[in-house]
Amino acid sequence: MIPAGFLFSAVNAGIKSPEHKGLDMGLIYCDKDASVAGVFTANQIKAAPVLIGMDLVKTGRSRCIVVNSGNANACTGTKGIEDARAVTAAVADRLGVGHNEVIPLSTGVIGIGLPVERMLSKVEELKKGLGDDIHAFSRSIMTTDTYPKISFRQAGNAKVLGFAKGAGMIAPNMATTLAVVLTDAVIDPQVLDNIIRKSVIDTFNAISIDGDTSTNDTLIALASGYVQEDVSTVEIEIHDVIQELAMMIVRDGEGATKVVEILVTGTINDSDAKTAAMSVANSLLVKTALFGCDPNWGRIIAAAGYSSVHIQPEEIEITINGYAVVRYGVEADGFDENTLNDILKNKEISITISLGNGSGRFKAFTTDLSYKYVEINSAYRT
């Protein structure tokens, strides 16, 4: 399932603290120049590795990705840039590649400098450990994730392999937290860039756990170019890999007990549909009602109403798992709170909201908001 040309490694560098014993530093190496493309956070506060990565992908070629968890290297100023470059330079020198061919990715706590010396001391071990252990690499990028997120597809003669991490601070507006997509197909860098930018629209950019867009969100794609395959075939499978990774993140949402699909239709255009869908997906009142199985449909219609999208209230219709909740902007005939309460006990919830007769539509994915989410995030740094 590994695309030709790629090797993987992971080590413990004690990045969050010297006492931490889990894998927290990973490496992906390509044995030849690969096409590279990336999408990055829309947050105006961008971590040092994001700023470096945004510059490096412009070259269109890359060989390596070095990743760490436990430290975001965000809001660390000029020193953060220098630290990230010191690590990538050390990796480049050990592997005999150019300094501009190693892309850094980081995730973890904001505002703390990288433990550069501990990381540099592990570069040789990373090199020696290069092999086919994709599961170890996937574990090295985890923070509050409860399981590694890996997806694979066969694209004709080519392979597509993807990794992601993320369970909280998810409202991407580009990609999400950290993600890597690898293929051995021959793809021009600009074509690869177009593919991933198109693919994130209804995948990573359609999910929300808590409405927070990270300072570190990055999706990097590499194509090693070993296999000639129809690009349209590869594009389909890249999209499917990214879609599966996105849904893994939703299902692993911090403290989540339910996966929620929100389909908005009837708007003037797809953009308006997305705005309304994400407004509902990010509503804390909607999410807490879903957690408590509270049949308070007013929270859903209110969230759609304050989304800034033009709405005719008397045209709104809402169904939940196929059950009619709102018709013509008011409670549907025959609506029963106890019935909806039972429906909301399901672990998979589908909310369909029609806002009119337009052709716009968008599907978003979110979770409920539980006590556990508060517990996890109230003690994240400590």
Q: What is the mean pLDDT of residues 1-6?
A: 97
Higher pLDDT, 207 or 239: 239
8-state DSSP, 57: G
Q: What is the pLDDT of residue 174?
A: 47
State the amino acid at position 351 in one-letter form. Answer: I
- Kindly give, in sequence order, each residue whose CB lies less than 8 Å from that of residue 1, ignoring residues fewer than 6 positions away: 134, 152, 159, 161
Q: What is the DSSP string of 193-237?
A: HHHHHHHTTTTGGGEESSSPPPSS-EEEEEEEEEE---HHHHHHH
pLDDT above 50 (res 145): yes
**pLDDT digits over 316-343, tens only?**
999 999 999 999 999 999 999 999 999 9
How would residue 377 be classed by pLDDT, with cut points 50, 70 and 90?
low
Higher pLDDT, 90 or 172: 90
- Kindly give, in sequence order, each residue whose CB lies less than 8 Å from that of residue 42, ignoring residues fewer than 6 positions away: 173, 174, 213, 217
- Output the six-digit token pair for 195: 């593919």
Question: Looking only at Cα atoms, what is the longest distance across the chain?
Answer: 71
pLDDT above 60 (res 97): yes
Residue with the two structure tokens 């014993």: 21
Q: Which of 41, 76, 88, 176 is catalytic?
A: 176
Q: Given 3.10.20.340, 3.30.70.20, 3.20.20.80, 3.30.565.10, which CATH number is that of 259-378?
A: 3.10.20.340
For residue 176, indicate whether it is catalytic: yes
What integer best gives the mean pLDDT of the chain? 92
Higher pLDDT, 121 or 256: 121
pLDDT above 90 (res 204): no
pLDDT above 50 (res 170): no
Question: Could you tell me which of 114, 363, 348 has the C-alpha nearest to residue 251?
Answer: 348
**pLDDT digits over 234-265, tens only?**
999 999 999 999 888 888 766 678 889 999 99
How would residue 211 be classed by pLDDT, with cut points 50, 70 and 90?
low
Instruction: Write the CATH number of the domain with boundaries 6-251.
Output: 3.60.70.12
Q: Comparing 6-251 with 259-378, is the CATH topology the same?
A: no
Domain map (residue ranges) of the chain: 6-251, 259-378
Q: What is the mean pLDDT of residues 353-359?
A: 95
Q: What is the pLDDT of residue 379?
A: 58
How would residue 207 be classed by pLDDT, with cut points 50, 70 and 90?
confident
